[in-house]
Structure 1
């Protein structure tokens, strides 16, 4: 169940950060978008906190941030057609590799 909480935290963070991008590229301050950003970040942090009842903090945070970084980079590429260098893709691979290693060798958790 803690991985469901972590998944909700990741999805909520992705929505909030995507809304940040939309608000930044819109024609001005949009109070509804800002409200959505705040709500989804609150859901994200609450859910992340719930996952910390079982998953070690460093492992949960690494998963949360790494998955967010990778998915948001892919969304930037697909939705906004952002061009990245090979170094960015290498960095993403290293991030994913680091999280996999952290999960393999961190203290066991439920």
Structure 2
């Protein structure tokens, strides 16, 4: 279970970093740029802890899936970016995929 905590931390750190990307103004604003890289470094470090027990493919699938959902929410709330119906349906399928991996996969590192 602790390895899933590391994965959750990695996902949150990566999502926070990615959410800062527009604020970096293509890495020309140094404060958000430094914070972006620090968050990504910490996220990758947490991911290395998670993959001690969770196969890398499973960890990355979960990371990517949850990250897409969180970044979509971040874009909606922070940057007022809208999602159309096909995008929302696609995100729902991603959530379903992450749930299938976690509930049914024997390789998910449970």
Aligned position for 2:84: 85
CA distance in 2, matches of 1:74, 1:15: 12
1:63 CA displacement: 1.2
Gaps of 5+ in 2: none
Aligned position for 1:33: 32
Gaps of 5+ in 1: none
CA distance in 2, matches of 1:50, 1:60: 11
* Residue 6 of structure 1 pairs with residue 7 of structure 2: yes
Aligned position for 2:56: 57
TM-score, structure 1 normalization: 0.88
CA distance in 1, matches of 2:16, 2:57: 23
CA distance in 1, matches of 2:14, 2:52: 19
Indicate conservation of the 8 Å contact 2:19/2:75, yes or no. no
1:107 CA displacement: 2.2
CA RMSD of aligned residues (A): 1.7
The size of the alignment, in residue pairs, is 108
Q: Which is worse superposed, 100-109 or 87-96?
A: 100-109
> What's the CA shift string for 1:73-95, capped at 9, x where partnerless?
01211222212210000000111
CA distance in 1, matches of 2:36, 2:74: 17
1:8 CA displacement: 1.2
